[in-house]
Amino acid sequence: EVQLVESGGGLVQPGGSLRLSCEASGFTFNNYWMHWVRQAPGKGLVWVSRISGDGSSTAYADSVQGRFIISRDNARNTVSLQMTTLRAEDSAVYYCVRGGIDYWGQGALVTVSS
Amino acid sequence: DVVMTQFPLSLPVTLGQPASISCRSSQSLVYSDGNIYLNWFQQRPGQSPRRLLYKISNRDSGVPDRFSGSGSGTDFTLKISRVEAEDVGVYYCMQGTHWPYTFGPGTRVDIK
Condensed to tens digits (0 to 9), the pLDDT of residues A22-49 reads 999 999 999 999 999 999 999 999 999 9
| Residue from the list A50, A62, A95 with its beta carbon closest to the beta carbon of B48 | A95
Query: CA dist A50 to A14, A53, A59, A70, A95, Å?
Result: 24, 10, 5, 7, 12
Q: Which among B61, B18, B21 has a CA at the least distance from the CA of B40? A: B21
pLDDT above 90: residue A69: yes
Percent of chain A with pLDDT over 90: 98
Question: C-alpha B102: how far from its chain's center?
Answer: 13
Give contacts of A35 with chain B, Cβ < 8 Å.
101
Instruction: Write out the DSSP string of B5-39.
Output: EEE-SEEEE-TTS-EEEEEEESS--B-TTS-B-EE
Average pLDDT over every residue of A97-113: 95
* Predicted pLDDT of residue A9: 95
| Residue from the list A95, A100, A101 with its beta carbon closest to the beta carbon of B94 | A101
For chain B, the residues whose C-beta falls within 8 A of a C-beta of chain A are 39, 41, 48-51, 54, 60, 92, 94, 96, 99-106
* Predicted pLDDT of residue A46: 96
* Predicted pLDDT of residue A100: 83
User: Are B105 and A106 a contacting pair at CB < 8 A?
Assistant: no
Using 70 as the pLDDT threshold, list the residues of chain B that sit under it. Answer: none
Torsions phi, psi for A31 (to 5 deg)? -90, -5
Average pLDDT over every residue of A94-111: 95
Average pLDDT over every residue of A81-110: 96
pLDDT above 90: residue A73: yes
Condensed to tens digits (0 to 9), the pLDDT of residues B29-38 reads 999 999 999 9
Condensed to tens digits (0 to 9), the pLDDT of residues A83-95 reads 999 999 999 999 9
| Residue from the list B39, B48, B103 with its beta carbon closest to the beta carbon of A44 | B103
User: Are B48 and A47 a contacting pair at CB < 8 A?
Assistant: no
pLDDT above 90: residue A1: yes
